[in-house]
Structure 1
Amino acid sequence: MREIGAPHPRFPSGRLLTVRPAPGPERRCLLVFEGDEGARGQVWHPRTGEIGDDLPIPVTGDTLLSPDGEWVVDLDDDGGSEVGGLVARRVDGSESRELTPGWGPYVLRGLELSRDGAQLLATAVDDAGHHLVLISMSGAAEPQVLFTSEEEAWLGHLSADSAYASVDTTEHNPGVRRAAVTVVDIRTRQVVATADDLPAGPVRAVRFSPVPGDERILLWTERSGFARPAIWGPLTGERRDYDLADLAGDTLVLDWAPDQGVILVAHCEAGRQRLLAVDEATGEWSVVHDAGGSYADPDVASVLPYYWQSFLGPDGEPVVLTSDWTTPLHALRLTADGTESVVPPVAVPPGRALASTVVTSADGTGVQLWWSAPPGPVRGTILDVHGGPNLVTVDAYRPELQAWQDHGFAVASLNYRGSVTFGRAFREGFWGGAGDREIEDVAAAIAWLRTKGLADPASTFITGPSYGGHLSLLSLGRLPDLFTGAFAVVAMADWAAAWPQMNPAIKKSWTSFLSMGTDGSFDHSRVEAALARFSSINHVESVTGSAWLYQGSRDTRTPPEQARTYAERLRAAGGDVLVEWFDAGHEPTGIRGIQLEFERALELAEVRLAGGRWEGR
């Protein structure tokens, strides 16, 4: 029998996590790989093809590389708390400098280096609000606050000549998460223009043109109800929207090369992706890559808008990042001479792809579900629900879903209402429901799986991280007849207890979510009632299954104390609950942390299937 925590072929150290291109004409890139206990970085020079040695300094998936490849920038947050200060480090480890000395700790909601590497634009959040801050990389000047709002503001961008900055903000529609793009003159700090698609909205900035003197911005807009690219000149007011009327579903707007007249997008339909190039002049599109799998994985409430994404290289050639259920993330470069492998996928055992289907929820809404059953007898079913809620499960390698199947479990992953890439109405479809829509979607997924002979209540578990952990516990209380247990990772179990302890960026986001009605209206008085219905702690009397809470000791999104209050309340109600901890923030670090999480969940599943309890194990 293999020892717990020993190297596991499904959980390979060294797989590619992301590629972060630097600004500037050379477009050097930071390659980030997952190690046993954290990440490691290498610098790739696209023009020469050279990949350097491992950097002797820490990196994360949010680390930025300077245009000259000599520095990296990241948030120093004491092991994952997401609250701290920015630090620049030389790639050889010889020098480190604090970039905001004397500032109190803050959370990042955007980070971008200037084209020349001299300045850094940070979108920082503290108790006083959301701030767009211009920072000198050399420390020669004090940080400048260009824009401040009490409302949400995210993902600032710099023009190629550092004359203007943009920020996505809800200031124009306070409390409602439909952003407009505000552009600020850096010299005067005055707002010069706003791209506003309200009330339909939102619209967000993807990037300024990389060409000096060209102040146009590539936008991502949902004016039509589905995500589409647009190009807007904030100084001229000219705007062109690319309707792409012959495409169904969203397009993730990824990158832009004005010199080549190319906009890069990932077309998403029913969970499937393909990589397309849109001609800037004609609006016509062509397929860049369509070999199955995915080409971008959106992030939310973080420093950068994607966990990983395809992009355009220094001469406008596509750099394809792609993964599928059985193949880890890898990078390809598409040139006129053919396809060149930049980073091959790490080797893993043959796996099983998940199929896509659409299940019908209680009100008739179609909801996308990935699923797979292992060969041979099925011992149980694992329903996986992603975090967010404005995230999505894409067709990409998930070691734990393959490992569950190795042990005889069917697996399914649900893109419930609130998930991105299915259009604005679906993404906003959970507003005002206090969890009702998501719970209906979970029930619909289980009902459909039963038509396939799966999801026996005596052997079905629900699991997910963050908001997915919240939904796992909420399902255990509101759908007690469907699950024998929940593996809730960094879950919000007691929203009222967590409220005063959340970091300011998360608290502001959730104030907006919980205040919104189903019609998009905003009423702050709704928060208290929504918190009560939303909190799993208020449904413990109905719980019959076992609950495992796996929490980060440094987490400021789902603070530790609220997990303890849930466990105490469930235990007092006679429930079976176990709380365990890892020493990090909102997620375990390194591939070994992910593996240990899976192996503990598997161990507990075996206990439950044998009729045992988890408490005290």
Structure 2
Amino acid sequence: MPVDRCNAPAVELPFWGRLRPEVCALRGNATGTAQFYLWDRAGGGIRQLTDAPHGVELGLLDPAGRWLWWYHDEDGTERGSWMRAPLRGGPAVPALPGVPPGTPEGLAVGASGLAVAGITAADGRTDIHLLRAGADRAEVLYGADTPLYLGGLSDDEAYVLVLHAEHGDPQRPSLRVLGPDGALVGELSDWPHGGLHVVPYGSPFLPGGRLVLAVHTRGGRPAPLLWDPVTAEVREIDTGLPGDVRAHFVPDGTALLLHHRIHGRSELYRYRLADGHLERLPVPRGTVHTAAARPDGDCWYTFSSATAPAVLRDLAGRELLSVPGPVVPAAPVTEVPVPHGELTVPVFLSVPDTGEAPYPTVFLLHGGPHTADGDEYNGPAAAWNDAGYAVARVNYRGSAENGTAWQFGHREAVGHTELSDVAAARAHLVASGLADPDRCVLAGSSWGGYLTLLGLGTQPGLWACGLAEGAVGDYPAAYREQLHSLRWVDRAMFGGTPDQVPERYAAASPHTYADAVRAPLLVLAGDRDARCPVGQIESYVRALAARGADVDLRLRSTGHASARAEVGADAMSAQIAFVRSRIGGPAPTRKQDA
């Protein structure tokens, strides 16, 4: 059945302590819910370490590889506490005594046992908490009412990196390094022209040193730089690569592992810091999701393409971990450059292996909006193809991987800019004879779900059906109920709060256009969603129902997303059934085993 595409076991990059790299842990969903496991590389065995009812997302091993730390979200609301448990076995205990539950904003653990974590409290204040080795309670190292994120801890535990947005835009943060006593060491900012970020996997500090590896956008695309917070010296790394470049230090600190992303596909390189020598590493055509250099000079990376789920590989091409059982290949994708005035909109298209054009076509919009689609495995897209529908994934303005001007180009007309690009993609595919103009479906989750609701109201003549999951339907109401960190994003995006610029929020809110909705709509929402709260989507659905719209709201006991595989499979089944009942479509043509 097509829903099996969304129910396959996940393969993610293992993580390890830098002092014992032979001890590896990883996140997997073999039980149907994402949990952390200990991976015995020599024996090939995997032992489950956590048993969280709602699954786990964030975790790390201490440098000595003795303790697993993970964030425990008790009810899916993205509020919880850090826990830790010994790998040799034993009960889990609160990892940061004295720190109240909150939203996680980064964690780092040193070899001495010192730990630093960012936590946003219920009132919106973020504190950087520090727990010294042997202490019975954590202390506050630094705090602010504006967004903060813990970037990392140097190996000698002398420097703490914090990303801050005191200027008000968390999507363009600045860097600040503090000592373990809270004293300021150095600051680096590109505001207001750009932001400085760190890559989430691994430490941003030079192994054994104080240099910080960050990502800047001074040339219009993400690229690495090195910053010395003591001397203020900055070295921009010129790789000569044309796309987005992000980097990690290799374990001995002599080189960078570069992840180059362009046209929806990935490349890996090793960049030698001493002389700038650039070596391309052997990876297949597709997407590298995450990668890390090993102390022996190897590199492990998770890889997928549109045709097959993710696997863990090394540079010799060996599959270290993969989805068990046979895998039925999914449809490949083709990048379609769509002309749109002076712009070109990237679209990734996949078509079913049976039937003929024009196909019923699902325009499947990604979330974020600052993410991007490409040649990687997408379970929902594969399921739609299996069910006989073409799938168009549009990297509209607001998406990553097409330059920072593109990424922030949606802010002048939030929602409408993105939908202008989607409409151009639809027109192009209809004109080419591929998409059936009477059976075009608008679908998405999170930001993609929001765009779906807005599109049904602002482009009612284009869409035969809508599918929205975890979406905003009433923007002013969502602002007042959502996570504090997202309120800062909205303030930066709209230029103020709903009280300060009500006309901008109203223009971007699907609720404003409820009268114009004509297409049948299925809405899936989590009753504990802290990002797109359930109250505002219920209000939007009631407004549609009062106007006689064909709308079906289905609530589930989840947060914004779920770590339970069955939730995704159930959602896919409901969406396919809803679309078939409203606009028809080919029956499934093949049984899926993956």
Q: Does 1:181 align with 2:175?
A: yes
TM-score, normalised with respect to structure 2: 0.91
List aligned pairs for 1:15-94, cutoff 5 A: 15-24=10-19, 26=21, 28-35=23-30, 37-44=32-39, 51-55=45-49, 57-58=51-52, 60-91=56-87, 94=90
The CA distance in 1 between the partners of 2:59 and 2:507, in whole Å, is 38
Which residue does 2:339 correspond to in 1?
360
Match of 1:544 among 508, 511, 518: 518
The CA distance in 1 between the partners of 2:526 and 2:169, in whole Å, is 29
Q: Conserved in 1, the CA contact under 8 Å of 2:56 and 2:71?
A: no
- SS in structure 2 of the partner of residue 470 of structure 1: helix
Deviations 1:355-405 (A, max 9, x none): 1122233x5222211001213235511111111111122322122211211
Residue 260 of structure 1: how far off its partner (Å)? 5.4
- SS in structure 2 of the partner of residue 73 of structure 1: strand
- SS in structure 2 of the partner of residue 413 of structure 1: strand
Residue 610 of structure 1: how far off its partner (Å)? 4.8
The CA distance in 1 between the partners of 2:423 and 2:94, in whole Å, is 49
Structure 1: gaps of 5 or more residues? 297-308, 516-521, 612-617
Match of 1:563 among 513, 516, 537: 537
Which residue does 2:406 correspond to in 1?
426
The CA distance in 2 between the partners of 1:117 and 1:440, in whole Å, is 54
Which residue does 1:121 correspond to in 2?
116
The CA distance in 2 between the partners of 1:410 and 1:396, in whole Å, is 16
Residue 9 of structure 1: how far off its partner (Å)? 4.6
Residue 444 of structure 1: how far off its partner (Å)? 1.1
Deviations 1:452-475 (A, max 9, x none): 323334311111111111001111
Which residue does 1:267 correspond to in 2?
260
Distance of aligned partners of 1:128 and 1:352 in 2 relative to their CA distance in 1, 3 Å threshold:
closer
Counterpart AA for 2:71: L
Residue 488 of structure 1: how far off its partner (Å)? 0.4
Residue 410 of structure 1: how far off its partner (Å)? 0.3
- SS in structure 1 of the partner of residue 420 of structure 2: helix
Count of aligned pairs = 576
- SS in structure 2 of the partner of residue 132 of structure 1: strand
Which residue does 2:296 correspond to in 1?
315
The CA distance in 2 between the partners of 1:137 and 1:77, in whole Å, is 25
- SS in structure 2 of the partner of residue 402 of structure 1: helix
Which residue does 1:330 correspond to in 2?
311
Runs of 4+ in structure 1 off by over 6 angstroms are 522-525
Distance of aligned partners of 1:583 and 1:503 in 2 relative to their CA distance in 1, 3 Å threshold:
same
Which residue does 1:518 correspond to in 2?
none
The CA distance in 2 between the partners of 1:93 and 1:56, in whole Å, is 11
Deviations 1:310-358 (A, max 9, x none): 1111334211211111121111123xxx444321344321221111122
Q: Does 1:132 align with 2:128?
A: yes
Distance of aligned partners of 1:503 and 1:128 in 2 relative to their CA distance in 1, 3 Å threshold:
closer
Q: Mean alpha-carbon deviation: is it higher for 523-532 or for 274-283?
A: 523-532
Q: Does 1:437 align with 2:432?
A: no
Which residue does 2:592 correspond to in 1?
none
Q: Conserved in 1, the CA contact under 8 Å of 2:293 and 2:300?
A: yes
Which residue does 1:581 correspond to in 2?
555
- SS in structure 2 of the partner of residue 411 of structure 1: strand
Which residue does 1:156 correspond to in 2?
151
Q: Mean alpha-carbon deviation: is it higher for 407-416 or for 255-264?
A: 255-264
Which residue does 1:598 correspond to in 2?
572
Q: Does 1:257 align with 2:250?
A: yes
Counterpart AA for 2:128: L
Q: Does 1:105 align with 2:84?
A: no
The CA distance in 2 between the partners of 1:528 and 1:546, in whole Å, is 29
The CA distance in 1 between the partners of 2:419 and 2:4, in whole Å, is 35
Q: Does 1:501 align with 2:481?
A: yes
Q: Conserved in 2, the CA contact under 8 Å of 1:119 and 1:137?
A: yes
Q: Conserved in 1, the CA contact under 8 Å of 2:268 and 2:280?
A: yes
Which residue does 2:198 correspond to in 1?
205
- SS in structure 2 of the partner of residue 586 of structure 1: coil
Deviations 1:115-170 (A, max 9, x none): x16133222212242222223576x2422222222222224210111111111112
Deviations 1:407-461 (A, max 9, x none): 1100111111111122211111112312221111111111121133233343111
Percent sequence identity is 27
Distance of aligned partners of 1:503 and 1:83 in 2 relative to their CA distance in 1, 3 Å threshold:
same
Structure 2: gaps of 5 or more residues? 586-594
Q: Conserved in 2, the CA contact under 8 Å of 1:327 and 1:345?
A: no
Deviations 1:17-55 (A, max 9, x none): 443344445264322222353113322367x58553233
Residue 560 of structure 1: how far off its partner (Å)? 0.9
Q: Conserved in 1, the CA contact under 8 Å of 2:361 and 2:441?
A: yes
Q: Does 1:370 align with 2:348?
A: yes
The CA distance in 2 between the partners of 1:424 and 1:148, in whole Å, is 29
Deviations 1:504-545 (A, max 9, x none): 222222222221xxxxxx798754222211111111111110
List aligned pairs for 1:367-516, cutoff 5 A: 367-375=345-353, 376-377=355-356, 379-515=359-495
- SS in structure 2 of the partner of residue 295 of structure 1: strand
Q: Conserved in 1, the CA contact under 8 Å of 2:365 and 2:443?
A: yes
Residue 263 of structure 1: how far off its partner (Å)? 0.7
Counterpart AA for 1:492: V
Residue 248 of structure 1: how far off its partner (Å)? 1.3
Distance of aligned partners of 1:205 and 1:176 in 2 relative to their CA distance in 1, 3 Å threshold:
closer
Q: Conserved in 2, the CA contact under 8 Å of 1:381 and 1:455?
A: yes
Distance of aligned partners of 1:218 and 1:424 in 2 relative to their CA distance in 1, 3 Å threshold:
same
The CA distance in 2 between the partners of 1:91 and 1:582, in whole Å, is 34
TM-score, normalised with respect to structure 1: 0.88
Which residue does 1:168 correspond to in 2?
163
Residue 492 of structure 1: how far off its partner (Å)? 0.8
Counterpart AA for 1:559: P
Residue 486 of structure 1: how far off its partner (Å)? 1.2
The CA distance in 2 between the partners of 1:527 and 1:331, in whole Å, is 47
Distance of aligned partners of 1:269 and 1:125 in 2 relative to their CA distance in 1, 3 Å threshold:
same
Residue 215 of structure 1: how far off its partner (Å)? 0.8
Counterpart AA for 2:231: T
The CA distance in 2 between the partners of 1:13 and 1:176, in whole Å, is 34
- SS in structure 1 of the partner of residue 568 of structure 2: helix
The CA distance in 2 between the partners of 1:23 and 1:60, in whole Å, is 22
